[in-house]
Structure 1
């Protein structure tokens, strides 16, 4: 790897690192903040996450089409970074006053704003960096591991920060956004040298504009709908389960602050293990296939959720939490490989944002509220039993509808380009 290419690799990695530092800080500690600082019950907390999901539903189709038309241009990514810059001031000076005026109104506004940066914005970040790394012949999973490293760092330092000052989490997000903005501004994406066939294929792809017909034909591909169902079963339920699991875990401690700190340590170990699996995931998924990788991720999630319902010793819950270190790399790498092998790569951002993020947010907007009420009604343990079987149903149905990429002919693969 020459010096220029090596520098670019670290630039991509740095962008992943600081974006997912923000992501991990908020999603790991927002449940604690909503419960302890904002003093919201689980149903209103669920409304915050639902508002984030519903806002993303509006944003994702727009973001996807815009990013596919922009290609390697950075304008939309820059807008997401601009929103990230104001997380600290928003939470410190606006969120609590809005909740005090009206809890439901405040939850909706707060969730909608955070979605600009996270639930909606993550699709822009992932799609842009995946396209850029593919253009420069990097393995997506190897660059994406920086996001896992960020998650480990955030979990380790976040627990200390949150106990000392709950608002410091969000100001750390603002500082990370400043660094992310600098990395994005300095990034120069250049096409690497390719073989004659690769260069010809790339030129043809770039010179063929994305049309409305291309986008409409995505919806005619049965694999797209199977993929959406699979994403609800895996990605949606992953987030729904994790939204309030920190509060469930902390409830086993006499001192909730102690529980929060221990959870942050466990989460830190989990995401560092995740980074290690991320290195191996591309090789493993290439061996078993992207569709099988998604099915396996769904099985691991099912085991993790149902195990958390029955294994209620602290050390057992901690061990079960670490299964996420296997699940996340399987899911993330399989998603990107499935999209680029089954669908027209010109539409990778659209398929990613609609098939992954849009479907995921539909699920979150529904199941965050449903599970929030269910936790109140029957408790976490019974709620987790129900959730585990919902996961299993979605994974089975999605797998039955999706085509395996190895059985996808060139004509099927390019249905979206018809």
Structure 2
């Protein structure tokens, strides 16, 4: 594989994930604030929307995972996702908003299916495609994924202020950013050698549904799922309504919204830098230890949030996300490449990581929403953090050790 192809794909796919996260951030970086202040939902109702989002994603994720593995290097699924991103503005403004206001359950279900197709399952398909092309052409996934964090940071810097002017403007900008995604994806070419690309796709075509189902009979798959559900999923549910708690620390909601946007942007810029150095860290300590390290940081952030009683300290806790996320994402892909059949990387990532997380989140979102309403955010955070810490310790015992040295995470199939 030539350096020219590697560099070309790196920059084009970096543009894809940059624009994907721009679109996602314009729609979702202040999603809980939008639900609370624009739609008028309380903590329990917001938790219900998140739960329905999680449940509907369950129908899409397994399909996306296996379909992306079957497609190999073909871009069909990503092109479909790009079209869905393009429709995000009209959907949020003209369909989602009125439905949530007049029929909460119907709006939540329809919105859940759309958001799952475009974002919740879509991000896994985009990330696994980039990781697969990176293994094939020779660039680190983390360095390309860094641009996703940059995209999220750029958008979140403005979303709070834009929301104070008009929430609809964020959704219009989301659709415009989707045009960049489609443009960059169109020019991606995996190899100048069509014979080699065809061979890779033939390997993907050889996969059967039984190969994916067989994963559920493997102990190592369920060990990985233990970490996902007990650590990553609970952390994700904790983060869902964090923006509401943060905004409440300020004299006015408008000031809280703006400050949350600034903080989110700063955090994600730090996260982007973390994405650049995370491959070095994970290569040094190993993928399993990378998962455990990220889990320990998650527990620290959640417990610390429970004891933080002012905007400065709660902001410091939030910034820990910039250290945790890069290590976690890089470690997950390297763990999958080292422990499982890399031809099934999309299935394992989307089903084993995202799907399993959504299964747990579908119930936990409502429960934690009720817990927030009953005992308050601070006390709830202390309980959640201790649960995450417990599962980090369990994961240290049950996760498989990745012994194969492979700095780029290259699979035997594509070497």
Whether these two folds match at TM > 0.5 is yes
Question: What is the CA RMSD across the aligned residues, in angstroms?
Answer: 2.2
Matched, 1:294 2:291: yes
Q: Decide whether aligned partners of structure 1 residues 303 and 181 sit closer, same or farther in structure 2, where only a CA change above 3 A counts.
A: same
Matched, 1:351 2:330: no
* TM-score relative to the length of structure 1: 0.91
Match among 325, 330, 337 for residue 327 of structure 2:
330
Q: Decide whether aligned partners of structure 1 residues 203 and 172 sit closer, same or farther in structure 2, where only a CA change above 3 A counts.
A: closer
Distance in structure 2 (CA, Å) of the matches to 1:203 and 1:90: 37
Q: CA deviation at 1:80?
A: 1.3
Q: CA deviation at 1:185?
A: 1.5
Q: Deviations over 1:222-252 (max 9, x none)?
A: 1111111211233322321221111101111
1:250 corresponds to which residue? 247
Q: CA deviation at 1:57?
A: 1.0
1:232 corresponds to which residue? 229
* TM-score relative to the length of structure 2: 0.92
1:411 corresponds to which residue? none
Q: CA deviation at 1:345?
A: 0.8
Matched, 1:261 2:258: yes
1:108 corresponds to which residue? 109
**Matched residues, number:** 402
For structure 1, the 5+ residue unaligned runs are 194-198, 409-413
Conservation of the 8 A alpha-carbon contact between 1:304 and 1:320 = yes
What is the 5 A alignment of 1:18-417?
18-190=19-191, 206=203, 209-406=206-403
Distance in structure 1 (CA, Å) of the matches to 2:49 and 2:159: 21
For structure 2, the 5+ residue unaligned runs are 406-410
Q: CA deviation at 1:30?
A: 0.7
Conservation of the 8 A alpha-carbon contact between 1:270 and 1:324 = yes
Distance in structure 1 (CA, Å) of the matches to 2:316 and 2:302: 12
Q: CA deviation at 1:141?
A: 0.7
Distance in structure 2 (CA, Å) of the matches to 1:30 and 1:236: 18
Distance in structure 1 (CA, Å) of the matches to 2:33 and 2:392: 30
Conservation of the 8 A alpha-carbon contact between 1:45 and 1:107 = no
Distance in structure 1 (CA, Å) of the matches to 2:363 and 2:316: 29
Conservation of the 8 A alpha-carbon contact between 2:73 and 2:201 = no
Conservation of the 8 A alpha-carbon contact between 2:56 and 2:109 = no
Q: Decide whether aligned partners of structure 1 residues 134 and 407 sit closer, same or farther in structure 2, where only a CA change above 3 A counts.
A: closer
Distance in structure 2 (CA, Å) of the matches to 1:120 and 1:286: 27
Q: CA deviation at 1:346?
A: 0.9
Q: Decide whether aligned partners of structure 1 residues 12 and 192 sit closer, same or farther in structure 2, where only a CA change above 3 A counts.
A: farther
Conservation of the 8 A alpha-carbon contact between 2:71 and 2:204 = no
Distance in structure 1 (CA, Å) of the matches to 2:210 and 2:372: 44
Q: Deviations over 1:192-246 (max 9, x none)?
A: 89xxxxx9xx869828811244223312221111111211233322321221111
SS of equivalent residue, structure 2 residue 222: helix
Distance in structure 1 (CA, Å) of the matches to 2:200 and 2:358: 34
Q: Deviations over 1:339-373 (max 9, x none)?
A: 01110111111111111111111122111111111
Distance in structure 1 (CA, Å) of the matches to 2:309 and 2:4: 51
Distance in structure 1 (CA, Å) of the matches to 2:28 and 2:6: 33
Distance in structure 2 (CA, Å) of the matches to 1:81 and 1:207: 22
